[in-house]
Amino acid sequence: MKTLVLGLGNELIADDGVAIRIARILSQHLKSRDDVDVLESSQHGLALIDLFSGYDKAIIVDAIKTGAHKPGSVVTMSSTELSAVEAPSPHFTGVPEMIRIAQDIGLPFPKSIQIVAIEVVDQSTVGGPMTLNVEKAIPDAVAAIDALIYTTTSEILAS
């Protein structure tokens, strides 16, 4: 059983780089594990579909700006909690659409996709620093991802 941890974002844009920073921390933290791959990407939509192929479980790490949570809040959810993206182009698909397309074309795709998202403040300042609340959330996000990976390992051992 293989797990993908995928950090999404752009480290050149203030808070949007938080998931990339987390992915780099996890890369070092998990480098001795052969059952977990940590990747980072600034791509989105269907450009990501190949990255998921062949994994049993995936954890997406990303920045979100909903206004529903305090900046720096770490929010975890399952892909089943996400709604479809209303977009004018297939390049801007969301996770539910990506799962459906992978199933339709027969790609070996993760049966479980979890999302660890950090509520951010600034997703637009190019070259801007990460805001303090978002920076302080990094250890909590790493711990949440560790817990999801551990759950995966426990599930594997129990089966």
Query: pLDDT tens, 69-101?
Result: 999 999 988 766 665 555 554 545 666 677 778
Closest by alpha carbon to 98, among 44, 57, 148? 44
What is the SS3 assignment for 124?
Answer: coil
**Rounded alpha-carbon distances, angstroms, from residue 54 to 11, 117, 137, 154:** 27, 23, 30, 20
Instruction: Find the mean pLDDT for residues 48-57.
Output: 86
CA distances from 74 to 30, 47, 96, 110 (A): 20, 25, 21, 23
Residue 124's pLDDT is: 82
Where does 3-158 sit in CATH, by number?
Answer: 3.40.50.1450
pLDDT at 23 over 80: yes
* Residue 22 pLDDT > 90: yes
The yes-or-no verdict on residue 104 having pLDDT over 70 is yes
Of 36-40, 104-108, 154-158, the range with the lowest mean pLDDT is 154-158
pLDDT at 91: 45
Do 44 and 8 contact (CB within 8 A), yes or no? yes
Among the listed residues 97, 76, 74, the one whose alpha carbon sits nearest the alpha carbon of residue 18: 74
Distances (CA, A) of 128 to 13, 61, 70: 6, 20, 20
Mean pLDDT of 97-125: 84
How much is the pLDDT for 156? 43
Answer yes or no: is pLDDT of 144 > 90. yes
pLDDT at 157 exceeding the cut of 50? no
SS3 assignment, position 102:
helix
Paired sense of beta strands 74-78 and 112-119, if any: antiparallel
State residue 74's pLDDT score.
Answer: 95
